[in-house]
Amino acid sequence: MARTFRFTVSEKYSRLRLDHFLGVQGLNYSRSQLKRHSDLDMVLVNGRPRKAGWKLKAGDVVDLTVIDPEPIGLEPEDIPIDVVYEDKDLLVLNKQAGLVVHPSPGHSRGTLVNALLHHCGDLVSVGGYLRPGIVHRLDKDTSGLMVVSKSDAAHRNLSEQFKKHTIDRAYIAIVRGNPRFDQGAFRSLHGRSTSNRLKFTSRVEHGRQAVTRFRVIERFKNFALVQARLETGRTHQVRVHFSENGMPILGDPLYGRTRKSTIRDKELLDAIKALGRQALHAAELGFDHPVTGEHLNFTSSPPEDMEAVIIALRRLKDS
């Protein structure tokens, strides 16, 4: 359940840090909980996301949105997972579309974490109670490669590799429209949208740097198959970058265009309907083994639902 609180800063609290200000408002939340909400851009000052250390001034309006978690108990569940590689320290899997990575409000069961507990038994708790073993994630409807830690040492090392952006990650996507260039890069700021809290955007005055390199794999009529290689790993980064550069990912319910479709080919329409999600697949994953230091590389072809759309697009191009 989401709850919203609004406060106006009085002269008494001028120059106080944002997290300290919220801490004296009589809310039943710890300072760490409030900081976490700030890190998630769920605390606004005068309509803009601000971090915990932001200094307030008299007259500022502070909006806090808090999502109270549902009581969740982690239980192993016999959910099939496609394991690509596994040893005593880590596991690499090919996540199917539709699978939520970890429990959250509204998704207390049927997640990848539940499946991993069944497959592995106990997982390390470094990632937190609801995210054991999880060092990164894919959106529910994005398929592809993920690495999971099975030991404390592996979790710490992999988390550091992700933090330093030394993990090699590339996605395959089908986008609407045709890129102007065969290859290039999107560089922008990245932050949560103030108009829709589910969305992120590059159209912010303050945010974190986001860089996506792309190249065109194949062009079709009004569509393109592209590779997107991450230099940073922001939430929804690939989806935002392509959408806000005029090439939304096919089937993206959050960042796709809402205008009426002009597609008339039945085979293509049927394939898109069967896809029922954003046409985005994590196709490459490379990293140094957190214990042995060996460099590991994994690749994964797009799943059948994306492949069916590609085949239909290719037939139209060649007809």
CATH architecture classification, 169-318? 2-Layer Sandwich (3.30)
The tokens of 186 are what? 């999107």
2-67 to CATH, choices 3.40.309.10, 3.40.50.620, 3.30.70.100, 3.10.290.10: 3.10.290.10
For residue 213, name the pLDDT band (cuts at 50, 70, 90). very high
Query: What is the distance between the alpha carbons of residues 207 and 140, in angstroms, rounded to a whole number?
Result: 24
Q: What pLDDT is attached to residue 62?
A: 93
Q: Given this chain, do its domains 82-163 and 169-318 carry the same CATH topology?
A: yes
The larger pLDDT score, comparing residue 279 to residue 73, is at: 279
Q: What distance, in Å, lies between the first and last C-alpha atoms of the chain? A: 52
C-alpha 191, offset from chain centre:
13
For residue 68, name the pLDDT band (cuts at 50, 70, 90). low
* Percent of all residues in the chain with a pLDDT value above 70, rounded to a whole number: 88
- Does the pLDDT value for residue 71 go beyond 50? no
Tell me what the mean pLDDT of segment 144-148 comes to. Answer: 97
pLDDT tens profile 9-24:
999 999 999 988 988 8
| Contacts with 68 (C-beta within 8 Å, 6 or more apart), sequence order | 1, 2, 3, 105
Q: Where are the domains of the chain?
A: 2-67, 82-163, 169-318
Q: Annotated catalytic, 89?
A: no
How many Cβ atoms sit within 10 Å of the Cβ of residue 259? Answer: 6
From the list 41, 60, 89, 139, the catalytic residue is: 139
Residue 39 vs residues 26, 71, 180, 204: alpha-carbon distances, Å: 21, 22, 35, 16
Residue 164 is classified by DSSP as T
* Angle formed by the axes of helices 304-318 and 266-275, nearest 10°: 160
CATH number of 82-163: 3.30.2350.10
Lowest mean pLDDT across 85-99, 186-200, 217-231: 186-200
Return left, alpha or beta for 98; rule: phi > 0 is left, psi -120 to 50 is alpha, else beta. left
Q: Residue 110: what residue type?
A: G
- Does the pLDDT value for residue 130 go beyond 80? no
> What is the residue-wise DSSP string for 239-260?
HHHHHTTT-PBTT-TTTS--SP
